[in-house]
Amino acid sequence: MASRSSSPFLILVAGQPAAPLRRHGGFDHWIRVAAGLGRDDAVAVDVERGDELPGFDAFAGVVVSGSAAMVTERREWSERAAAWLAEATKAGLPVLGICYGHQLLAHALGGTVVDNPEGRRMGTFGVELLPEARNDALLAPLPERFPAQMTHVQHVSVPPPGAVVLARAEHDPCHAFRVGDNAWGVQFHPEFSAAHMRGYIQARAAVLAEEGFDVRALIDAVGAAPQARRVLRRFVHHSRNAAR
């Protein structure tokens, strides 16, 4: 474990940003920047495009990105990544799943992912920490309520066995969870800036309008989410210290 403290982080790329936003880089770039990692401090593996999954020992931790895919589609690459995540968690590798990654981690560890009966969420919304988060390594320093960037249709309806639910949102009772001491899922996007979020809403404007959303109002309601963004740096800090 001592060698992991200076090892790079692995970013499992499960998809790409909306097409108009790709000029700002892929999810791996957004995650790396938000986490405060240098270019040599992170290795990206694109599982959606068929990259081979590596061993666990060479990395300080792993972050699993979002995706336009659905966990319930059970795509081959997704199921392969889920099996890998189950083994990584069992091996004690620190894991952080974001949005799709949150859902994939839940599925990998025996939880249930379904279409959210409340429908799509896209924009800046509030997250509420539960009492169980007060001693959590990632979420404890955050305020009880904070804004976060969100874009998702599915959610974790049943958390994995033994999971501790750490946060909820108005439309989602399991918005963050932890399994053991080193595996977390968060439904929100800590790597998104307000500009990313506005860009996503604009890119999905036609779909949102068809579903009855006021696109202009969603864009106007987007705000900064600095507390949510802290989660990635907290994960890096925890993983480095846990590896010593």
Catalytic residues: 99, 189, 191
Assign residue 123 a region (left: φ > 0; alpha: ψ between -120 and 50; beta: otherwise): left
Within the chain, residue ranges assigned H as helices are 27-35, 76-90, 100-108, 194-203, 205-210, 215-221, 226-242
- Strand 95-98 and strand 61-64: the pairing is parallel
Q: In this structure, is the dihedral angle defined by the CA atoms of residues 33, 37, 38 and 40, taken in order, positive or negative?
A: negative
Structure tokens at 101: 């990654």
